[in-house]
C-alpha cells in the first residue's frame, strides 16, 4: 500500500524567511504532484514532477524529486503572506495502461506566514 508522509504538518513562519516542506513516499513512483489549497477552496495544481532529479520553480516556490530516496521537497524562498495556505504532495500509482490511477495524498502542511 502506498503511503505518503509530509512534514511538518503545521508551520508558522515570518515573511522573508526560507523553509522546506518534505514529502516521503513508500513505494516506487516517478510521478509526484504538489497542490495548494486555500481555506474553503479546492486544490490548485502547483508542480508536476515526473523523473528523478526533476526540479520545477514558480516564483518563490521550488519543488524537487529524488525517486531513489522517495523524497520530494517544496522550498519556499523569502516567504510572503500570500503564500499562506495548505500544501499537499500526492503520488500517483500507475495502472497497466500507463495512465495514472488515483492519487495518494499526504496529510498536508498548513503554512501560516506572519507579516
Partner 1 sequence: GAGVSQSPSNKVTEKGKDVELRCDPISGHTALYWYRQSLGQGLEFLIYFQGNSAPDKSGLPSDRFSAERTGGSVSTLTIQRTQQEDSAVYLCASSHTSMTGEQFFGPGTRLTVL
Tell whether residue 78 is a contact of partner 1 (CB under 8 A). Answer: no
Least distance (Å) between residue 114 CB and partner 1: 24
Select from 95, 100, 86, 53 the least CA-distant residue to 72.
Answer: 53
Select from 88, 80, 77 the least CA-distant residue to 37.
Answer: 88
Tell whether residue 23 is a contact of partner 1 (CB under 8 A). Answer: no
Tell whether residue 115 is a contact of partner 1 (CB under 8 A). Answer: no
From 31, 60, 70, 110, residue interacting with partner 1 (rule: CB under 8 A):
31
Residues 6+ apart with CB under 8 A from 97: none
From 21, 33, 72, 79, residue interacting with partner 1 (rule: CB under 8 A):
33
Tell whether residue 48 is a contact of partner 1 (CB under 8 A). Answer: yes
From 16, 50, 69, 112, residue interacting with partner 1 (rule: CB under 8 A):
50
Tell whether residue 72 is a contact of partner 1 (CB under 8 A). Answer: no
Q: Which residues of the shown chain bind partner 1 in the complex (CB under 8 A)?
A: 31, 33, 35, 41-45, 48, 50, 88, 90, 92, 95, 97, 99-105, 107-108
Amino acid at each position: 500500500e502506498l503511503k505518503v508522509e509530509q512534514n511538518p504538518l503545521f508551520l508558522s513562519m515570518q515573511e522573508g524567511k526560507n523553509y522546506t516542506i518534505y514529502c516521503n513516499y513508500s513505494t516506487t513512483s516517478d510521478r509526484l504532484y504538489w497542490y495548494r489549497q486555500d481555506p474553503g477552496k479546492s486544490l490548485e495544481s502547483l508542480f508536476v514532477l515526473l523523473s528523478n532529479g526533476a526540479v520545477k520553480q514558480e516564483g518563490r516556490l521550488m519543488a524537487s524529486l529524488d525517486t531513489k530516496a522517495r523524497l520530494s521537497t517544496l522550498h519556499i524562498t523569502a516567504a510572503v503572506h500570500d503564500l499562506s495556505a495548505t500544501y499537499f504532495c500526492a503520488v500517483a500509482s500507475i495502472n497497466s495502461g500507463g495512465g495514472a490511477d488515483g492519487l495518494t495524498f499526504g496529510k498536508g502542511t498548513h503554512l501560516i506566514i506572519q507579516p
